[in-house]
A and B are shown apart, each in its own frame.
Chain A
């Protein structure tokens, strides 16, 4: 082992890095004193959190239990994550919807009040600037959460377009929720634990739905969503109430819901087949290539009207050149940038995320291959440190998702 174990422990941080590489490199090497801390920082440290630099923040990569145990416990009981490094913002004004629709692929106008969806901010070439969960609170209020590592470029992008939009008389403004913290509560005990802390009937809030409600005495934004494939919630809470809320959730679950770090979060999202921006999605990758065609609203396919629509609509018609797929493999776990070859040894693509699945006890990965080699069951070779190992294209999610949907 080389380079110091501490750095080794950081390799996942690099793997998890969500921003463009230069920004991350600069932030990654920045002095620890420059790292931002969430209001839960002391709480993490007191609970044994191993803090690492992540997208400019000092965040827990794991707590006392191993990433393996932590991942399993999320699916069996539940996990509480501090995701306050992510950037929540609200768009306000009567033209919020038409403004946002210029920047994302979602049919925002078609969303019911209090309903959210995963979407992608696109550039002129149809590539992904970031992925984001957006919620239509009301016709004149959109709430969205963007990746920590993409915060600066996303806000600059939105601001630039907002200026032009307003100059033409459009009514839209933003509020960045730096006064709030964000907790993600995931797993089968998420709803039962949270129900103790609110009067609202959580059984009536389904996957993707949003409410502004009182939780543990504070006004929260609650979205039934997450990044693990499990049922659960993301809770935007006023920062002064965040530590109390975290403690209350852990207490109400009788210790079964555990604080969970970025390491297990990465395993969980990979098992659920979810993209990590910066790994599985980048500036040059379109939503069609990334397997997010479902997120392009029907009306948007007919009308276009978002950045890069020409490229994306053409790809929808002709089919993309490359596609994101999942793999099982033998041998060492493939990691990002492992080469993928067909069974004759010809290069067909590259792994973008990979690792050992704590739940399935075998290697899982996702990556991009040429169209034609993308069908489930296609045999491939994974090249790791110069050796070829057997792999097979597999449907995702690897672990079945358990989103709470009306029956």
Chain B
């Protein structure tokens, strides 16, 4: 079973957000990296870019497939994980820690309420897998 971290918020497109005040750290979930397989390239946005909830801000490429990454929150990109340029495999090895993708200064904190908590996301993954 994929690892799901308790205090994070989750989008149905399989990104997580770790909220700290007005800032959110964003990455893809263990479930997502497991389905993607070996990540070979991560396309990062520019620092300062405005992003909105539900819209794409980058891409993760694995041997198997290309996948767009969607932002779980709206705001401005304050930091990107440059480590991923040289070590894209961090997404596989440490999806919730060293494999984080961007940090965002949130423009609308209420959006967090539209995201799932760990229990809801866990159930969501089970249902999605069961469908197939």
Using CB atoms and an 8 Å cutoff, list the residues of chain A in contact with chain B.
Answer: 1-2, 4-6, 8-9, 11-12, 15, 61-62, 66-68, 71, 263, 267, 331-333, 335, 355-356, 358, 385
Which of B17-25, B57-65, B75-83, B110-118 is near enough to bind chain A? Answer: B57-65
Q: Mark B61-76, 1 if CB is under 8 A from A, else 0.
A: 1011111111000000
B-side contacts of A8, CB under 8 Å = 35-36, 65, 67
Closest residue of chain B to A331, judged by CB? B41
Inter-subunit contact B14/A1 (CB<8 Å): yes
Inter-subunit contact A332/B41 (CB<8 Å): yes
A-side contacts of B70, CB under 8 Å = 1-2
Closest residue of chain B to A14, judged by CB? B65
Nearest CB in chain A: distance from B131 CB, A? 7
In the docked arrangement, what's the CA distance between A8 and B60, Å? 12
Given A68-B38, A356-B41, A385-B59: A1 and B132 interface contact (C-beta under 8 Å): no
In the docked arrangement, what's the CA distance between A154 and B47, Å? 53
Inter-subunit contact B128/A11 (CB<8 Å): no
Inter-subunit contact B132/A332 (CB<8 Å): no
Closest residue of chain B to A15, judged by CB? B65
Inter-subunit contact B61/A333 (CB<8 Å): yes
Inter-subunit contact B14/A67 (CB<8 Å): no
> Looking at chain B, what size class is its interface with the partner chain?
20 to 34
In the docked arrangement, what's the CA distance between A8 and B32, Å? 10
Inter-subunit contact B32/A1 (CB<8 Å): yes
A-B contact pairs, 8 of them (CB 8 A): A1-B68, A1-B69, A5-B31, A8-B36, A9-B65, A61-B64, A263-B37, A356-B63
In the docked arrangement, what's the CA distance between A154 and B128, Å? 37
Closest residue of chain B to A12, judged by CB? B64
Given A1-B28, A5-B32, A332-B43: A67 and B37 interface contact (C-beta under 8 Å): yes
Inter-subunit contact B128/A5 (CB<8 Å): yes
B-side contacts of A355, CB under 8 Å = 63
In the docked arrangement, what's the CA distance between A305 and B78, Å? 67
Closest residue of chain B to A68, judged by CB? B38
Inter-subunit contact A67/B32 (CB<8 Å): no
Nearest CB in chain A: distance from B119 CB, A? 19
In the docked arrangement, what's the CA distance between A272 and B51, Å? 41
In the docked arrangement, what's the CA distance between A51 and B101, Å? 30
